[in-house]
Amino acid sequence: MVLSDLKRLIPVPRLDGNRNLIRQAWDVMRGLPGGKVLFSKLVGRMAPYTGTIHATVVALRGGHAEVQMADRKAVRNHLDCVHAIALANLAELAGNVALAYSLPDDGRFIVSGMEIEYLKKARGTITAIGESPVPRTSARAQYDVPVSLRDASGEEVARAILHSLVGPKKGTPRGEVN
């Protein structure tokens, strides 16, 4: 099976509705052979630009995500290290899946801003660790999601803060506790 076949078989899921699709998909797929890779491809289909870095979600639970990106030519810059925007993309992915997993079923979010600080040249596999708050309701609120990006030796190569606006999904009552 080639990637084009996979894209036809896996429709782009809709994030509206009365369930947390990210949490549900991860909870089902994580234990299956190849499930983490398949889940990561699903996220890449939902957010196509994010999918361009070919990162893999390796751990996900309430308030926490770990996402790895292999060092390959497509994410490198002219200085032969991982490109700053690839790191920013990885940080956004880790922060977003941590927050998305943590949302109540009737919640949604959008990143309203981002800060990133590059600490050293990034080389090798990079792991982004996102530590998200766990919103109790979908009431409109802004949350900061810190993300640390580390190389294979565990040294921090960059750190980011995502500013995310949470609110209720369209058509749901505002701010009900689940």
- pLDDT-derived band at 16 (thresholds 50, 70, 90) equals low
* pLDDT at residue 5 in the model: 54
Going by pLDDT thresholds of 50, 70 and 90, the confidence category of residue 21 is: very high
Token digits for 50? 């994010």
Give the domain CATH number at 71. Answer: 3.10.129.10
User: How many domains does the structure of the chain reveal?
Assistant: 1
pLDDT 10s digits, 138-175? 999 999 999 999 999 999 999 999 999 999 998 765 54
For the record, the structure tokens of 160 come out as: 């980011």
Mean pLDDT of 23-41: 95
CA distance 73 to 23: 32
pLDDT for the residue 106? 94
In a domain, residue 178? The reply is no
Cα–Cα distance measured from residue 53 to residue 126, given in angstroms and rounded to the nearest whole number: 11
Look at the pTM and tell me if it is higher than 0.75.
yes
Residue 6 lies in a domain: no
Query: Is the pLDDT score of 114 beyond 60?
Result: yes
Question: What pLDDT shows up at residue 26?
Answer: 96
98 φ/ψ angles, rounded to the nearest 5 degrees: -60, -45
Q: Tell me the mean pLDDT in the region 88-95.
A: 98
Q: 63: which strand partners?
A: none
Burial class (CB in 10 A: 0-12, 13-18, 19+), 97: buried
Say how far apart CA 112 and CA 175 lie, in whole Å.
20
3 lies in some domain: no
Within a domain: 5: no
Q: Answer yes or no: is 173 within a domain.
A: no
7-14, long-range: CB within 8 Å, 24+ apart, which pairs? Answer: 7/45, 10/41, 10/42, 10/45, 12/45, 12/46, 13/42, 13/45, 13/46
- pLDDT bracket for residue 177 (50, 70, 90): very low
- Residue 115, token pair as written in the block: 């800060």
Mean pLDDT, to the nearest integer, of 113-118?
Answer: 98
Mean pLDDT in residue range 35-41 = 96
Residue 25 belongs to some domain of the structure: yes
Residues spanned by the domain of 75: 11-168
71 close to 79: Cβ distance less than 8 angstroms: no
